[in-house]
Structure 1
């Protein structure tokens, strides 16, 4: 038993997050070195003493540890800002759990993750964007100052399906309706979004992009909606991304990473055009076009409860699914030429040819990273090539290894699973529609899927 306790303490010492445990009376029974560093205290100062003795700014009502001791209910991902004993402002995200033995509450434990640096970086970004927007009001606007650098002409494609998508994007750019974009990683979602902004009447107004997975969920709300001075310790009057994007476009990437409660607030903005800063009581209007993107199919996100269904239906006014590179292999040659030209200019080289063996590999490779992976493969090769021709010896090793292993199996015997699934789906949908004389509702019943799901798959698979 003694060895077990020693091992447990050794494990706890290696965890890089603050851990603070108290008994049912609020006396500290465990306090690790990370928590001590966050609070600016020594472990010995806190152990064996009542929680409120060392943290006089807290009360029974405001302390999450004491609250859990009182209620016996866990508190998850609570954002807390406080001043430690050295006068340093600290931002943490805390999860506080009850400790029970035989059903009886005997204490509580809190795990605190320090997000101070992340919050400072996000606040600096907001301040910088606010300064940029303020500066724009004192000079004439041009497209180059909006934050969006790509235009429709930058979308390179000869693929028929992608050309149709591009035409649709040019049409919807003229309106103010929200847009939902789906595309795997590396397909060029932000390129398309920026092109839509620059083709719209909002092109001289701000373009603001935020990856919802890039910052902790506890900071996302204040980043989007802004804060009011005094709403929590250290809070100041600060505009959020909605205010910074006023009159322009707000692009929310990886929307499914946004917590569902914040998704509900986003839906409210979409419905009435009003926002309220965190800690504020006043609502005020914003004129922002929302474009959201997912790297997983929206229907699947809804089924997994990563995306609210009501938000999905509100955003899905205009739906633009970007095809994967493996579904538009006819674009590979033109993209190769484009990236060679780009890196010839950057590296001051003169590569003019691609070996036929390389072209064959590129055409057969599955491209899980899509256009971005193709660009990186060209960039990698351009760093190694000495003459004017890219050969197989210049390609990234993982592409060579993948193609070598796949060549050992017969392509006819083992088609790519994703392509086989899509082909099967398309065939079954076509058969169901033929059986029902094109009646989508009856075909959906025949396939035992919701009508909306069938319509989504018909659009994706180009079934009419």
Structure 2
């Protein structure tokens, strides 16, 4: 058994090791406990704080604006609440707090607050908001700033990509919500802007917001706006729903949005009005929502990353952008497009990819998709001097290493299974896609055997996502 004194040492060690600030007050608002992280956050010395009254330490707070004093009064916890206040030197601090009443023998003895400093994030969000204000502000001649992407920027003719473009073009004729699924780098924002720029809303604002970039409290303020006095330092400021009225909002990485905020977004979509944080007035809005995610919708639903009711509301129109590894016939088209682009930018005269580079590209798995392809070609063209062909020597070493590794693994599989001749004969009788699927199935089966059927380790060996491997296992019925 651990003694009481040993337990106190352990608790004290934990308290002064965690990255969150901890502040405890008694029933009279006097500080009982104040860890070093909270002192760093508020730029105060714990020796000066312990034993002092909270309102004496922070004169900008009162019984209503202080989350500690409010919980002390109401005895109701406050979870993940944003609070902006001034320290003893008048410096503004913004925190996200979770605050709880404390009891001993069923009697209230004080309140505990755990805080995380988001002052820098708050400043960043204010800068983002100011930039967005400038972005949507009409010019004197009533011209609006135009977004740069349209359907001409969507390069490709493969079946899945062509279908995605077809659905996107039909989406320009309506104002229904759109959900776009595609891996990172597949061009989700290009699709979103293309839809907006060919719709009846094209002369109205298009505003994008990454839902993963900010905490819930700040994101809510950016989306719905704030009312002066709703919290310390709050001003009257419209959110992007008001700013984009009549236009389109792109909500990128919608699955990163907190469930509580998802519920508020659903209500806006159903009722077509918003209410600023701290406000009492309902503001009517007419905004089209285009949401994006880089994870499969079924995966989001199964893991409760998105509310089902919100998902059904957003996915009136569903666009699936295939990854580049499934667009082999588009590789040449995209490569030519980016070569032309950087010829103009760098004043080069590059004509093509070498056959060796084409082979490497076709065997690469493209985790970064089209964005990665563009970066690779841009990098290669930085290394070319008075040459007309991109060769292996112009590529990043990781591409060459990956290609050599896959070729070696393929040779090992053929040797081990004793199916080299059979495989070549099969490849002559079936089309390329079926041949590649047969080879892929063999690689996956071998990886699973090598790793004792452990999916995570097999996925790491194959250098693909775990959920992607799970999908392929079901596709090839390797789970039986």
What TM-score bracket applies, with the shorter chain setting the length? Answer: 0.7 to 0.9
**Structure 1's 404 and 67: CA in aligned 2 closer, same or farther, altered over 3 A?**
farther
Mapped contact 1:174–1:200 kept (Cα < 8 A): yes
- Who is 1:459 aligned against? none
- Who is 2:157 aligned against? 158
Map residues 75-224 of structure 1 onto 2, 5 A cutoff.
75-96=78-99, 109-136=112-139, 138-141=140-143, 145-146=145-146, 148-224=147-223
Distance 1:282 1:419 in 2: 46
**Structure 1's 346 and 21: CA in aligned 2 closer, same or farther, altered over 3 A?**
farther
**More deviation, 378-387/323-332:** 378-387
**More deviation, 217-226/72-81:** 72-81
Map residues 251-330 of structure 1 onto 2, 5 A cutoff.
251-330=250-329
- Who is 1:404 aligned against? 404
**Structure 1's 425 and 36: CA in aligned 2 closer, same or farther, altered over 3 A?**
closer
Distance 1:90 1:420 in 2: 45
Query: What RMSD, in angstroms, separates the aligned Cα atoms of the two structures?
Result: 3.1
**More deviation, 56-65/6-15:** 6-15
**More deviation, 39-48/66-75:** 66-75
2:443 is aligned with 1:414: yes
Mapped contact 1:181–1:291 kept (Cα < 8 A): yes
The Cα shift of 1:263 comes to 1.1
Could you tell me which runs of 5 or more consecutive residues in structure 2 were left unpaired when the two chains were aligned. Answer: 414-438, 445-461
Distance 1:292 1:24 in 2: 47
Distance 1:54 1:419 in 2: 54
Mapped contact 2:339–2:352 kept (Cα < 8 A): no
**Structure 1's 346 and 55: CA in aligned 2 closer, same or farther, altered over 3 A?**
same
**More deviation, 18-27/238-247:** 18-27
Distance 2:270 2:80 in 1: 28
TM-score normalised to structure 2 length: 0.79
**CA displacement 1:200-219 (0-9 Å, x = unmatched):** 11111111000000112220
**More deviation, 227-236/185-194:** 227-236
Mapped contact 1:38–1:84 kept (Cα < 8 A): no
**CA displacement 1:365-387 (0-9 Å, x = unmatched):** 11111111111121222222333
Mapped contact 2:71–2:111 kept (Cα < 8 A): yes
Mapped contact 2:376–2:395 kept (Cα < 8 A): yes
Could you tell me which runs of 5 or more consecutive residues in structure 1 were left unpaired when the two chains were aligned. Answer: 429-464
**More deviation, 88-97/17-26:** 17-26
Mapped contact 1:326–1:367 kept (Cα < 8 A): yes
SS in 2 for 1:78: strand
Mapped contact 2:366–2:372 kept (Cα < 8 A): yes
The Cα shift of 1:394 comes to 2.2
Distance 1:276 1:309 in 2: 23
Distance 1:150 1:334 in 2: 18
**Structure 1's 343 and 8: CA in aligned 2 closer, same or farther, altered over 3 A?**
farther
- Who is 2:362 aligned against? 363
- Who is 1:390 aligned against? 390
SS in 2 for 1:403: helix
- Who is 1:443 aligned against? none
Distance 2:297 2:9 in 1: 48
The Cα shift of 1:236 comes to 0.7
2:48 is aligned with 1:39: no
2:23 is aligned with 1:20: yes
**CA displacement 1:250-287 (0-9 Å, x = unmatched):** 00000011111111121112112111111111112111
Equivalent residues, number:
424
Mapped contact 2:58–2:86 kept (Cα < 8 A): no
- Who is 1:349 aligned against? 348
The Cα shift of 1:158 comes to 1.6
**CA displacement 1:9-40 (0-9 Å, x = unmatched):** 67766655433244676543443444335435
**CA displacement 1:275-334 (0-9 Å, x = unmatched):** 111111111211111101111122221221111111111111111111111111111111
Mapped contact 2:65–2:231 kept (Cα < 8 A): no
The Cα shift of 1:135 comes to 3.0
Distance 1:346 1:260 in 2: 44
